[in-house]
Amino acid sequence: MLWDRHRKRTALPDTMAHSRLYTAAALLLAAACVQADWCSKSALGPTCEGHSATLDCGSCQINVTSANYGRTDHRVCSYRRPASEITKTNCVLPSALHQMSKRCDGKTWCSVPAVNSIFTDPCVGTYKYLEVTYTCVPKRTLSRTCEGHTAILDCAIGVIKVTAANYGRTNSHVCSAGHPPHLVRKVNCILPSTLQHVAHRCNGKQWCDIGASNAVFGDPCYGTYKYLDVSYFCVA
């Protein structure tokens, strides 16, 4: 979205200062993320309506944890705004989290304009701002292995940390080639113990393999052709 010169001149000084501090913190946290399991960031400085919020995790991935587009404080983004535009302070938009997550989760960097056309207008006539809290997490790898084959988890740098796993079927199209419809129709096949089993076998190792088979995990849905999904990242 284009900004006019007047808006650039009247950008809130204290907001700009906060933005510089948060940007510096972001760079330090992103660098540290290569060596840590989790790089936490408390919040992004408030982004005044009409401007863009930039989330940056360096080599890691963004995970948005909270967001609001509206107004909960009459002082924030109030510079040269008439009193009628900053008086309302109970302006909350619950769907802001969904919008931010949809645009930023899983990316290393994203920029989202704080505008009504993206978030809708939760309080007409009020000058709003966007607040976002997010964390930077290591990049995850998804391993998908059809039944009867062997899953290989490998870290070029660091060791394996498994975050999610399931042996079963949640999608009729995955690992379906060459199999009759009745073997891939059931898509609510979930085995909760998969995570514990894979984590026990692979966590802390640079490399591991595990068979996607009933002999290893048991049979959570008899008569269904299954597959093994494992999500993991490498911890330095």
Q: Domain coordinates of the chain in residue numbers?
A: 5-137, 141-235
CATH class assigned to 141-235: mainly beta
> Which secondary-structure segment (H or E) carries 95?
none
For residue 56, give the amino acid letter: D
pLDDT-derived band at 42, boundaries 50, 70, 90: low
How many angstroms from the chain centroid is the CA of residue 99? 12
- State both tokens at 77: 């983004």
- Which pLDDT score is estimated for 235? 76
Residue 220 has pLDDT above 60, yes or no: yes
State the average pLDDT for the chain. 85
CATH class assigned to 5-137: mainly beta
Task: Over range 164-185, report the average pLDDT.
Answer: 97
- Which pLDDT score is estimated for 39? 57
In the block, residue with structure tokens 């960097």: 109
Task: Over range 87-104, report the average pLDDT.
Answer: 96
Residue 205 has pLDDT above 60, yes or no: yes
Residue 141 has pLDDT above 70, yes or no: yes
3-state SS class at 151:
strand
3-state SS class at 196:
helix
d(C-alpha 26, C-alpha 102), whole Å: 21
d(C-alpha 30, C-alpha 136), whole Å: 7
For residues 17 and 82, the model is more confident at: 82
Residue 113 has pLDDT above 70, yes or no: yes
Residue 10 has pLDDT above 60, yes or no: no
